[in-house]
Amino acid sequence: MAKVAWSEAQVQALLEAGVDRVDAERIVTWVEKNHGGDVERDPLPEDLTDRMAEVSEADALDAAADWMASPAIPNRYKRLLHARKA
C-alpha cells in the first residue's frame, strides 16, 4: 500500500511540474522498475520539479539556437526544426 501511495505522490508532483499524465506515469513506472528498492520514498525534490516547470518562449528559442549551432546535430534534423516553424 505504501508503494501505491508513493507512486501517486510522484505522479502528482510531476503533474504539478507540468508533465503530461501519460509521461508522468511512464516515468514513475520506469523508476520503480529500474530502481525498485533503492528509491527514496518521498515526492520529487522541489528543485527537480522547478527545473521541469513551464518552458518559456525565451527558453524554447534559446534551445533552438543551441540545436542549430551544434555541429553534433546533422543538418537533416536541423531542417526538421526549421520546417516546424513554417
Q: Residue 11 CB: number of other CB atoms within 10 A?
A: 21
The pLDDT value given to residue 17: 87
Of the candidates 52, 20, 56, 73, which has an alpha carbon nearest to the alpha carbon of residue 82? Answer: 73
What are the tens digits of pLDDT across the range 37-46?
555 555 666 7
What are the tens digits of pLDDT across the range 59-83?
888 988 998 999 998 888 888 877 7
DSSP 8-state class, residue 52: T
Q: What value does the mean pLDDT take over residues 26-47?
A: 70
| pLDDT at residue 48 tops 80 | no
Structure pTM?
0.45
The pLDDT value given to residue 44: 64
41 burial type by CB count under 10 A (0-12 exposed, 13-18 middle, 19+ buried): exposed
Cα within 13 Å of Cα(36), Cβ side: 1
